[in-house]
Structure 1
Amino acid sequence: MDPSPAHPPGDLLNWLELPRDVTASILLKLGAIEILTSAQKVCSLWRNICKDPSMWRAVDMRNLGDFDINIDYDLEKMCQHAVDRSGGELVDINIEHFGTDELLKYITESSSKLRRLRLVSCYSISDKGLSEAAGKLPLLEELDISYCSLSKESLEAVGRCCPLLKSLKFNNHGYRRPRIECDEDALAIAESMPELRHLQLFGNKLTNDGLLAVLGGCPKIESLDLRHCFNVTLTGDLGRRCADSIKHLRSPCDSTSDYEFDTEIHDSVSFDEDSASEFSDIDYFSDDDWYYELSGDSDSSDFDMYENGDFFDLSDHGEFIFD
């Protein structure tokens, strides 16, 4: 005889009866933005779970360049709120597309245990900002600073201050023309990051000399991505050396089908800070202690809350935040 089902047909599963750790596991599938703006408002139990510091050891605030989200929310203030909730236990954070020097300073001053940091397309983070932040990240192991306005200065600072760094992504847009050769980034990496295991330099302007320096200064590298590094020629002794010493090698002309960003080759065009500024000059709604503001035509009834077993109406509240 088949055992009786846990819930007879027609019965509804009560989400509030799930074990706390199961509920927490489900909520962790959401990003920080979804938790702060939606999930924690469902009921008092979920809100209580969402305030647990263990929920904030990893904070994913990526918005993929969605400017509509930027307009609706002050992402910087929301991120600060998430960092506060971690209680100093933050180990992994992604502030892709909206990071600034000020936000990076706030994060690093509160999160000495940080091991993974992703700053992709953060044009408002400067060499000075990253250099100062690196001094507070002695445990950092993984860093992604792709498509930022950064130079060898911050690479050197990261290398000096983060001796445990094992993975670096420092990607850019690839160019064949005009042909510009520059080994500054490669030399900074070679001279300061001996513990690297994984290095991605998509679209870098390094030459064979720069690559030789990296191979010599970072002898533990296991994976190296040189796609769209068109000044590198992996032939002869250099090609053999790379093939013999590196387990996972991506050559300049290898397929980019699995690369997560734009792979267009920007020939004859200079992608400078002026063109990048259009991605950073965004005005956010911010009102001191608030990171969310209802628009004038919003239906407040959509934000009714459940607390202590009862629903209550927030229709009289124009803006709100939960501590």
Structure 2
Amino acid sequence: MDGKTATAGAGEDEPRIPPEQTRDWSDLTPVLLVNAFRRLSLRDRWAGAMLTCKSWLEASKDSSLFSSLDLEPYFDAAGSGSGDLIGWWTAGFERRIDSMIRSVADWGAGSVREVRVRHCSDGSISLLAERSPKLEVLSIQSSQSVTDASISRIALSCSMLRELDISNCYEISYKSLETIGDNCPNLTILRRNFMNWLDPSQHTGIVPDEYLRNCPQDGDMEATAIARAMPKLKHLELRFSKLTAAGLISVSEGCQELEVLDLFGCVNLTSRGIEQSSANLKNLIKLIKPNFYIPRSVYHTERYGHWRLYDERFQTNVFQI
């Protein structure tokens, strides 16, 4: 038998491999698709998988994929220029964020536990409250259209809430803090920070002037509400709040489980007042005092002289989005 004949005989005994065919990925079962989509980033699911075909779109809406909506990484990465920041304070951008929240609330089918967004409105937050009773984390900083109305709905419908960030939400008052505290006994983290009103150059021309004028002035009322209704707080941020020593004393007496207290920019407080109040907080691990650069336009020795001034201007991270 020659070499040619031997080769031919061997080929006849082996299974023939069909030519490569194009796979139809749309035929994958929903279970396999969901399992694959679970490994994708939020951006890839929304901007990729959902737009591929009808079967992928339906699989992308599986409720198990919507326990969390976290847009913070995208805000942090995208806000490299003032043009981006200005666009975020528009009605059109707000509608886009609202649309995402509504979709998650619908598709999550009651399984949503975490939402971290910015620039949303009452409508989407009210719907989230209605459809997400298991919500544990809500971060909606810089939402100019969110008011006490939707926060009250969150308080009454989401009793499992343990973390809340309403920083730079100027249409939310101390009443919401009371309602949240009275109805969400598991709350341990509260972020109620404000924009740097001592140096408005950081947000002038970006944030609407009429919105900045609505910045709450009732720092002590908010502090009193926190102290009365949120005794289990472990982490509290009040950056650039206008609370005074009286408000801080209320917090130290009512929130004695605090481990982290951030008072950066709270210029109505004195060193002595902070030391006296923090002495009551036996579990306190981290205390951030109001040290910052003070522009000469607002500098008064009798009011600010007790704080050390930095040589370089303090750059807040609030708008480095």
TM-score bucket (shorter structure): 0.5 to 0.7
Matched, 1:160 2:152: no
Return closer, same or farther for 1:73/1:58 CA change in 2, 3 Å cut-off: same
1:134 to 135, 152, 155: 155
Instruction: Mark the structure with the bigger radius of gyration.
Output: 2
Report what 2:203 is aligned to. Answer: none
Secondary structure of 1:135 counterpart? helix
Compared CA separation, residues 228 and 71, structure 1 to 2 (3 A):
closer
Instruction: List gaps (5 residues or longer) in structure 2.
Output: 1-22, 76-84, 200-216, 293-309
Q: 54, 66, 69: which is aligned to 1:56?
A: 66
Determine which of 276, 287, 296 is the counterpart of 1:249: 287
Q: What stretches of structure 1 of length at least 5 have no aligned partner? A: 1-13, 264-323
Which residue, out of 129, 139, 142, partners 1:118? 139
**TM alignment of 1:203-218, pairs within 5 A:** 203-218=240-255
Residue identity over aligned pairs, in percent, reads 29
User: What displacement does 1:211 show?
Assistant: 1.2
* Partner SS state of residue 26, structure 1: coil
Residue type at the aligned position of 2:102: Q
Partner AA of 1:188 in structure 2: A
TM-score by length of 2: 0.66
Contact 1:243 1:249 in 2 (8 A): no
Shift of the alpha carbon at 1:48?
5.0
Number of corresponding residues: 245
Residues 1:214 and 1:72: Cα distance change in structure 2 (over 3 Å) = closer
Match of 1:183 among 211, 217, 220: 220
The alpha carbon displacement at 1:30 in A equals 2.2
| 1:143 alignment partner AA | L
Aligned match for 2:263, one of 206, 226, 233: 226
Distance 1:224-1:183 versus aligned 2 partners, 3 A rule: same
Aligned pairs for 1:89-108 (under 5 A) are: 89-97=111-119, 99-108=120-129
1:30 equivalent to 2:68? Answer: no
Separation (CA, whole Å) in 2 of partners of 1:73 and 1:170? 24
Q: Give 2:234's match in structure 1, choosing from 182, 197, 213.
A: 197
Over 3 Å counting, the alpha-carbon distance change for 1:189 and 1:122 in structure 2 is same
Secondary structure at 2:69's aligned position in 1? strand
Equivalent-residue separation in structure 2 for 1:22 and 1:40 (angstroms): 15
* Separation in 1, partners of 2:95, 2:263: 37
RMSD of aligned C-alpha atoms?
A: 3.5
